[in-house]
Structure 1
Amino acid sequence: MRWAGVVLVVAAVGYVLCEALAASQFPGYSYAHHYISDLGVPYESEEGRGFRSRAALLMNLAFVGQGVLLLLGVVLVLRGARNTPRAPLLGPGALYAVGMLLVGTVHAGPREAADGTSLPHAVGAGAAIVCGNVLALVAARMSERFGGGRRYRCASAALGVLGLLSLVMFVADSGSSAFHLLPDGVWERLAVYPITAWELLTGCTLLLTVRRRRAGVRGGVRGGAYADPAGGRDGPV
């Protein structure tokens, strides 16, 4: 579980740092009005929102790396959690990774929009957002299997709900001329960042759980008993 926690924390922190660095290399970039994917367009264009990313390669690597690390974290969690059904976590995790791979390898700039080749990017982004937030909801239901308590369960569920509702609002708000509540970039980030926050929350929870269990084992040994790190009964040394 410790390595699962490390991987998820690295995934979350690394992604946020890469996005911030890429945004700093994009003159005039707006977190509110530009899409995250604009940072990965590898050419300059003044069409539409304007595309001037000077760190497109970094951002695209961050997209792909985010998918790979989240899936790796899920696999490591399943290896450490005994008698845990694999499909409910592994399914969304794998689809998230595939979606992020498409986001990082198929661009969504004006050239791709003009020739119709940006569709895989849109499908991948949608799949990643949906599956990442669904993963947070599933983890909330299965939290006791890997050491998450009530507060983790509530926070994980809240993040998943926030992300999915924000995705619905992003689609509705950007596709309607009848109302406009928030800029597209805000809705998109309200759909994406809960996944990143869930990674950080889960990673820290796993690391704290491992630390507490090790402290319990040491205390049990000093007292003449051992504590099963997987949650089993104490017994004689």
Structure 2
Amino acid sequence: MREIQSDASAVARSTTIAAICWILAGIVYLLAEAITASAFPHYSYAMNYISDLGVPDVEMLGDRAIDSPLHMVINMAFVVQGLLFAAASICMVRGSRLPLRVPIIVFALFHALGMVLIAVVNGGQHNNELGLGWVHLLGALFAFLGGHLTAICVGISLLLSRRSSFGRPSRLIGVISVVIGLIGILGIVMLQVDVRAVPRTVLPDGVWERIGMYAIIVWEIGYGALLLSRLRTHTPLSDRSATALN
């Protein structure tokens, strides 16, 4: 009996850590982006790329004037967000019976790697001249698709799972997770298609890119909040007692 209670307590702790990490990851990113953008003269969430905030030099990139005095803030946030996202995914998988546990961890690690790469190798002209522009682009690809596919895999797992911790609402949560992931992928695809294949620009580049990024942020904060809510309302009394005793 004590072993069962101990296992249940460990699962609850692991899930709680996952939820907190996801929520913190989203909040850290949003705050850092807002703070960095506030110090960037004439920064436009619609016209500028997110990575413009992380460029340390004052320069012109295409038709965009770059001047980000707080570039270190957003670059540190990229790393923190990615690592918290990966940590959350690993902790959640340890405390769950989701069918797609391995893909969830793999895609979360790709997301973390991508976030670290775009922080370490910024998208400035200096790195482009050094031939490192592809590293930044690869990091962006990993970060976006890794985050989107993590959300999609979690959603599919909830749809396939017969014993989800969310109970009856799990199918709805699964569908929403998949939809959010697909919306994020659409944003990144349209970031490329809108410029190259559409006669007139449907939305500015910054908007499409932020659809891709904010899909990840919305999902991680929302899913983290749902996990915390589930723990508070559905944890059996015996598990709570075991957690308190530990």
Query: Normalised by the shorter chain, which TM-score bucket?
Result: 0.7 to 0.9
Q: Aligned ranges for residues 1-237 of structure 1 at < 5 Å? A: 1-48=15-62, 49-82=64-97, 84-143=99-158, 144=161, 145-147=164-166, 149-176=170-197, 178-214=199-235, 217-218=236-237
Query: 1:132 Cα shift?
Result: 0.8
Letter in 1 for 2:80: G
Given residue 23 of structure 1, which amino acid in structure 2 is its aligned partner? Answer: A
Partner of 2:10: none
Deviation at 1:131, TM superposition (A): 1.4
For normalisation by structure 2, the TM-score amounts to: 0.83
**What is the distance in 1 between the residues matched to 2:53 and 2:42?**
12
Task: Name the count of aligned residue pairs.
Answer: 220
Q: 158-167 or 137-146, which moves further after superposition?
A: 137-146
State the distance in 2 between where 1:146 and 1:169 align.
Answer: 35
Gaps of 5+ in 2: 1-14
- The alpha-carbon distance between structure 1 residues 82 and 46, as it changes in their structure 2 partners (threshold 3 A), is closer
Distance 1:116 1:178 in 2: 31
Of residues 84-93 and 125-134 in structure 1, the stretch that sits farther from structure 2 once superposed is 84-93
- Bigger RCO of structures 1 and 2 (CA < 8 A, at least 6 apart): 2
Mind listing any 5+ residue stretches in structure 1 that lack a counterpart? 230-237
Confirm or deny: 8 A CA contact 1:78 1:84 kept in the other structure. Answer: no
Q: What one-letter code is carried by the residue in structure 1 that aligns with 2:194?
A: D
Q: Distance in 2 between matches of 1:73 and 1:213?
A: 20
Q: TM-score, normalised by structure 1?
A: 0.86
What secondary structure, in the 3-state scheme, does the structure 2 residue paired with 1:142 have?
helix
Q: Distance in 2 between matches of 1:176 and 1:111?
A: 29
- Structure 1 residues 161 and 23: CA distance shift in structure 2, 3 A: same
Q: SS state of the match for residue 50, structure 1?
A: strand
Root-mean-square deviation (CA, aligned residues, Å) is 2.0
Q: Indicate the residue corresponding to 1:235 in structure 2.
A: none
* CA-CA distance at 1:176 after TM superposition: 4.4
Query: Conserved in 1, the CA contact under 8 Å of 2:75 and 2:120?
Result: yes
| 1:209, distance to aligned residue in structure 2 (A) | 1.1
Q: CA deviation at 1:178?
A: 2.8
Q: Deviations over 1:118-151 (max 9, x none)?
A: 1100011011111111111101011254436233
Alpha-carbon distance, 1:213 to partner: 2.1
**Equivalent-residue separation in structure 2 for 1:56 and 1:155 (angstroms):** 34
